[in-house]
Structure 1
Protein backbone atom coordinates (compact mmCIF):
# COMPACT_ATOMS: atom_id res chain seq x y z
CA UNK A 1 0.00 0.00 0.00
CA UNK A 2 1.37 3.38 -0.96
CA UNK A 3 1.04 6.22 1.49
CA UNK A 4 -2.40 7.84 1.09
CA UNK A 5 -3.13 11.55 1.12
CA UNK A 6 -5.93 13.49 2.76
CA UNK A 7 -8.77 13.63 0.27
CA UNK A 8 -8.03 10.26 -1.36
CA UNK A 9 -11.24 8.38 -2.08
CA UNK A 10 -11.73 4.64 -1.75
CA UNK A 11 -13.26 2.78 -4.67
CA UNK A 12 -17.02 2.46 -4.25
CA UNK A 13 -17.93 -0.94 -2.83
CA UNK A 14 -21.40 -2.37 -3.38
CA UNK A 15 -22.98 -5.67 -2.37
CA UNK A 16 -26.40 -7.21 -1.91
CA UNK A 17 -27.70 -8.56 1.38
CA UNK A 18 -30.37 -11.23 1.04
CA UNK A 19 -32.21 -13.36 3.56
CA UNK A 20 -29.71 -16.09 2.73
CA UNK A 21 -26.90 -13.69 3.73
CA UNK A 22 -28.63 -13.18 7.07
CA UNK A 23 -28.94 -16.94 7.67
CA UNK A 24 -25.26 -17.46 6.87
CA UNK A 25 -24.21 -14.57 9.10
CA UNK A 26 -26.40 -15.84 11.96
CA UNK A 27 -24.75 -19.23 11.74
CA UNK A 28 -21.25 -17.75 11.70
CA UNK A 29 -21.87 -15.22 14.46
CA UNK A 30 -24.28 -17.15 16.66
CA UNK A 31 -26.72 -14.19 16.56
CA UNK A 32 -30.09 -15.86 16.04
CA UNK A 33 -32.24 -12.93 17.14
CA UNK A 34 -35.57 -13.49 15.34
CA UNK A 35 -35.67 -9.90 14.04
CA UNK A 36 -33.11 -11.12 11.49
CA UNK A 37 -35.33 -13.85 10.03
CA UNK A 38 -38.95 -13.60 11.25
CA UNK A 39 -41.20 -10.88 9.83
CA UNK A 40 -43.70 -11.62 12.61
CA UNK A 41 -41.15 -11.09 15.38
CA UNK A 42 -39.61 -8.03 13.73
CA UNK A 43 -42.98 -6.32 13.26
CA UNK A 44 -44.04 -7.31 16.78
CA UNK A 45 -41.12 -5.24 18.03
CA UNK A 46 -42.08 -2.24 15.88
CA UNK A 47 -39.67 -2.84 13.01
CA UNK A 48 -40.86 -2.52 9.41
CA UNK A 49 -39.73 -6.10 8.67
CA UNK A 50 -36.67 -8.33 8.83
CA UNK A 51 -33.47 -6.34 9.27
CA UNK A 52 -29.79 -7.11 8.76
CA UNK A 53 -27.51 -7.59 11.74
CA UNK A 54 -25.82 -4.32 12.67
CA UNK A 55 -22.44 -6.00 12.92
CA UNK A 56 -22.93 -7.49 9.44
CA UNK A 57 -23.55 -4.00 8.09
CA UNK A 58 -20.39 -2.76 9.79
CA UNK A 59 -18.40 -5.72 8.46
CA UNK A 60 -19.57 -4.95 4.92
CA UNK A 61 -18.40 -1.35 5.38
CA UNK A 62 -15.00 -2.61 6.50
CA UNK A 63 -14.72 -4.81 3.39
CA UNK A 64 -14.38 -1.60 1.39
CA UNK A 65 -11.55 -0.51 3.68
CA UNK A 66 -9.70 -3.84 3.69
CA UNK A 67 -9.87 -4.04 -0.11
CA UNK A 68 -8.38 -0.54 -0.36
CA UNK A 69 -5.74 -1.26 2.29
CA UNK A 70 -4.76 -4.50 0.50
CA UNK A 71 -4.39 -6.29 3.84
CA UNK A 72 -7.05 -6.67 6.56
CA UNK A 73 -4.38 -6.54 9.29
CA UNK A 74 -3.73 -2.89 8.40
CA UNK A 75 -7.11 -1.90 9.87
CA UNK A 76 -6.32 -1.05 13.47
CA UNK A 77 -9.61 0.48 14.57
CA UNK A 78 -13.15 1.34 13.58
CA UNK A 79 -16.13 3.19 14.98
CA UNK A 80 -19.74 3.61 13.96
CA UNK A 81 -23.23 4.43 15.12
CA UNK A 82 -26.09 2.36 13.81
CA UNK A 83 -28.46 5.04 12.54
CA UNK A 84 -30.98 3.17 10.39
CA UNK A 85 -31.77 -0.54 10.09
CA UNK A 86 -31.18 -2.29 6.77
CA UNK A 87 -34.53 -3.75 5.76
CA UNK A 88 -33.99 -7.02 3.85
CA UNK A 89 -36.95 -8.04 1.69
CA UNK A 90 -37.76 -11.70 1.10
CA UNK A 91 -36.94 -11.76 -2.62
CA UNK A 92 -34.03 -12.60 -4.91
CA UNK A 93 -32.61 -9.05 -4.89
CA UNK A 94 -32.46 -8.31 -1.16
CA UNK A 95 -31.03 -4.93 -0.16
CA UNK A 96 -28.09 -3.21 -1.81
CA UNK A 97 -25.46 -1.65 0.43
CA UNK A 98 -23.04 0.89 -1.02
CA UNK A 99 -19.90 2.05 0.75
CA UNK A 100 -17.86 5.12 -0.14
CA UNK A 101 -14.86 6.35 1.79
CA UNK A 102 -12.46 9.26 1.98
CA UNK A 103 -9.20 9.81 3.84
CA UNK A 104 -9.85 12.71 6.22
CA UNK A 105 -6.74 12.72 8.38
CA UNK A 106 -3.23 11.32 8.51
CA UNK A 107 -1.26 11.09 11.73
CA UNK A 108 2.17 9.47 11.64
CA UNK A 109 1.53 6.32 9.61
CA UNK A 110 -2.23 6.02 10.26
CA UNK A 111 -4.93 7.20 7.88
CA UNK A 112 -8.42 7.96 9.16
CA UNK A 113 -11.09 7.02 6.63
CA UNK A 114 -14.58 8.49 6.85
CA UNK A 115 -17.17 6.04 5.50
CA UNK A 116 -20.54 6.73 3.90
CA UNK A 117 -22.65 3.57 4.08
CA UNK A 118 -26.04 3.57 2.39
CA UNK A 119 -28.91 1.28 1.59
CA UNK A 120 -30.47 2.96 -1.41
CA UNK A 121 -30.54 6.65 -0.53
CA UNK A 122 -30.69 6.03 3.24
CA UNK A 123 -27.54 6.48 5.31
CA UNK A 124 -27.45 3.41 7.58
CA UNK A 125 -24.26 4.02 9.57
CA UNK A 126 -23.37 7.31 11.18
CA UNK A 127 -19.97 8.64 12.17
CA UNK A 128 -18.41 5.56 10.55
CA UNK A 129 -14.62 5.71 10.49
CA UNK A 130 -11.73 3.30 10.17
CA UNK A 131 -8.07 3.74 11.03
CA UNK A 132 -5.57 2.15 8.67
CA UNK A 133 -1.83 1.76 9.23
CA UNK A 134 -0.04 2.22 5.93
CA UNK A 135 3.62 1.60 6.73
Structure 2
Protein backbone atom coordinates (compact mmCIF):
# COMPACT_ATOMS: atom_id res chain seq x y z
CA UNK A 1 0.00 0.00 0.00
CA UNK A 2 1.31 3.45 -0.92
CA UNK A 3 0.84 6.07 1.76
CA UNK A 4 1.02 9.83 1.91
CA UNK A 5 1.54 11.87 5.06
CA UNK A 6 -1.29 14.37 4.43
CA UNK A 7 -4.72 14.90 5.91
CA UNK A 8 -7.73 17.10 5.34
CA UNK A 9 -7.07 20.50 6.91
CA UNK A 10 -3.30 20.37 6.48
CA UNK A 11 -1.68 23.57 5.24
CA UNK A 12 0.74 22.25 2.64
CA UNK A 13 2.15 25.48 1.23
CA UNK A 14 2.16 29.20 1.77
CA UNK A 15 3.99 32.20 0.41
CA UNK A 16 4.05 35.98 0.40
CA UNK A 17 4.64 38.00 -2.76
CA UNK A 18 5.42 41.67 -3.30
CA UNK A 19 3.91 43.02 -6.50
CA UNK A 20 5.30 46.32 -7.73
CA UNK A 21 4.58 48.36 -10.82
CA UNK A 22 7.78 46.86 -12.19
CA UNK A 23 6.27 43.38 -11.64
CA UNK A 24 3.25 44.42 -13.71
CA UNK A 25 5.42 45.74 -16.55
CA UNK A 26 7.48 42.56 -16.61
CA UNK A 27 4.36 40.40 -16.60
CA UNK A 28 2.82 42.50 -19.38
CA UNK A 29 5.92 41.92 -21.48
CA UNK A 30 5.83 38.19 -20.89
CA UNK A 31 2.08 37.76 -21.34
CA UNK A 32 1.24 40.43 -23.88
CA UNK A 33 -1.40 41.92 -21.52
CA UNK A 34 -0.78 45.64 -22.03
CA UNK A 35 -4.21 46.84 -20.87
CA UNK A 36 -3.82 50.42 -19.59
CA UNK A 37 -5.45 49.59 -16.24
CA UNK A 38 -2.26 47.71 -15.35
CA UNK A 39 0.01 50.74 -15.59
CA UNK A 40 -1.97 54.00 -15.83
CA UNK A 41 -3.74 55.37 -12.76
CA UNK A 42 -5.86 57.81 -14.77
CA UNK A 43 -7.26 55.04 -17.00
CA UNK A 44 -7.84 52.68 -14.06
CA UNK A 45 -9.73 55.37 -12.16
CA UNK A 46 -11.71 56.39 -15.26
CA UNK A 47 -13.14 52.85 -15.48
CA UNK A 48 -14.04 52.81 -11.78
CA UNK A 49 -11.01 51.06 -10.30
CA UNK A 50 -9.27 52.37 -7.17
CA UNK A 51 -5.96 52.54 -9.07
CA UNK A 52 -3.64 50.40 -11.15
CA UNK A 53 -4.39 46.71 -10.64
CA UNK A 54 -2.36 43.55 -11.12
CA UNK A 55 -3.28 41.34 -14.06
CA UNK A 56 -5.71 38.63 -12.98
CA UNK A 57 -3.60 35.94 -14.58
CA UNK A 58 -0.55 37.19 -12.65
CA UNK A 59 -2.50 36.87 -9.41
CA UNK A 60 -3.68 33.41 -10.47
CA UNK A 61 -0.13 32.40 -11.40
CA UNK A 62 1.49 33.46 -8.14
CA UNK A 63 -1.33 31.76 -6.23
CA UNK A 64 -0.57 28.33 -7.70
CA UNK A 65 3.22 28.66 -7.36
CA UNK A 66 3.47 27.54 -3.70
CA UNK A 67 1.53 24.37 -4.59
CA UNK A 68 3.81 23.64 -7.55
CA UNK A 69 6.84 24.19 -5.28
CA UNK A 70 5.36 21.79 -2.68
CA UNK A 71 4.63 19.12 -5.28
CA UNK A 72 8.01 19.47 -6.98
CA UNK A 73 6.41 18.61 -10.33
CA UNK A 74 3.90 20.85 -12.13
CA UNK A 75 2.49 17.77 -13.91
CA UNK A 76 0.97 16.73 -10.57
CA UNK A 77 -1.50 19.61 -10.89
CA UNK A 78 -4.44 18.14 -12.79
CA UNK A 79 -6.91 21.04 -12.57
CA UNK A 80 -6.86 24.65 -11.38
CA UNK A 81 -9.80 27.03 -11.23
CA UNK A 82 -10.47 30.41 -9.63
CA UNK A 83 -12.97 33.24 -9.65
CA UNK A 84 -11.62 36.76 -9.58
CA UNK A 85 -13.44 38.55 -6.75
CA UNK A 86 -11.33 41.63 -5.89
CA UNK A 87 -8.51 43.44 -7.62
CA UNK A 88 -4.97 43.68 -6.28
CA UNK A 89 -4.24 47.41 -6.31
CA UNK A 90 -0.55 48.09 -6.89
CA UNK A 91 0.71 51.46 -5.62
CA UNK A 92 2.99 53.72 -7.67
CA UNK A 93 5.59 53.46 -4.91
CA UNK A 94 6.19 50.38 -2.77
CA UNK A 95 4.42 47.08 -3.26
CA UNK A 96 1.13 45.26 -2.90
CA UNK A 97 1.63 42.35 -0.53
CA UNK A 98 -0.21 39.19 -1.61
CA UNK A 99 -0.36 36.18 0.71
CA UNK A 100 -1.25 32.65 -0.36
CA UNK A 101 -2.16 29.70 1.88
CA UNK A 102 -2.84 26.24 0.39
CA UNK A 103 -4.94 23.85 2.49
CA UNK A 104 -6.02 20.29 1.73
CA UNK A 105 -9.83 20.20 1.76
CA UNK A 106 -10.55 16.77 0.31
CA UNK A 107 -8.60 13.55 -0.31
CA UNK A 108 -9.49 10.71 -2.66
CA UNK A 109 -7.45 7.86 -1.16
CA UNK A 110 -8.23 5.43 -3.97
CA UNK A 111 -7.00 7.81 -6.66
CA UNK A 112 -4.17 9.30 -4.59
CA UNK A 113 -5.43 12.80 -5.32
CA UNK A 114 -6.54 15.79 -3.31
CA UNK A 115 -8.38 19.06 -3.66
CA UNK A 116 -6.30 21.91 -2.32
CA UNK A 117 -8.05 25.20 -1.64
CA UNK A 118 -6.09 28.41 -2.00
CA UNK A 119 -6.69 31.48 0.11
CA UNK A 120 -5.14 34.45 -1.65
CA UNK A 121 -5.36 37.74 0.22
CA UNK A 122 -4.37 41.34 -0.35
CA UNK A 123 -4.95 44.10 2.17
CA UNK A 124 -6.72 41.60 4.50
CA UNK A 125 -9.29 40.68 1.83
CA UNK A 126 -9.59 37.51 -0.24
CA UNK A 127 -9.00 38.30 -3.92
CA UNK A 128 -9.75 34.89 -5.47
CA UNK A 129 -12.94 32.96 -4.85
CA UNK A 130 -13.33 29.20 -5.17
CA UNK A 131 -9.61 28.89 -5.85
CA UNK A 132 -9.23 25.13 -6.05
CA UNK A 133 -6.42 22.92 -7.28
CA UNK A 134 -6.66 19.19 -7.96
CA UNK A 135 -3.33 17.43 -7.40
CA UNK A 136 -1.76 14.01 -7.39
CA UNK A 137 -0.46 13.67 -3.84
CA UNK A 138 3.22 13.06 -3.21
CA UNK A 139 3.68 9.62 -1.67
CA UNK A 140 5.77 8.28 1.14
CA UNK A 141 7.39 4.84 1.29
CA UNK A 142 5.34 1.79 0.34
CA UNK A 143 3.94 -0.40 3.08
CA UNK A 144 3.84 -4.14 2.43
**TM-score by shorter chain over 0.5:** yes
Task: Report which of the two structures shows the higher radius of gyration computed on alpha carbons.
Answer: 2
Contact 2:13/2:103, CA 8 A, preserved across alignment: no
Task: Tell me how far 1:134 sits from its aligned partner.
Answer: 2.3
Match of 1:8 in 2: 10
TM-superposed deviation, 1:46: 0.7
Moved segments of 4+, more than 2 Å: 2-5
TM-score w.r.t. length of structure 2: 0.88
Q: Is the 8 A contact 2:15 2:99 kept in 1?
A: yes
User: Residue 110 of structure 1: CA displacement?
Assistant: 1.3
Q: Which runs of 5+ in 2 are unaligned?
A: 139-144
| Partner of residue 82, structure 1 | 84
- The number of equivalent residue pairs is 133
CA displacement at 1:77 relative to structure 2: 0.8
Unaligned runs of 5+ in 1: none
How well do the aligned residues superpose, as a CA RMSD in angstroms?
Answer: 1.2
1:25-104 equivalences in 2 (<5 Å):
25-91=27-93, 93-104=94-105
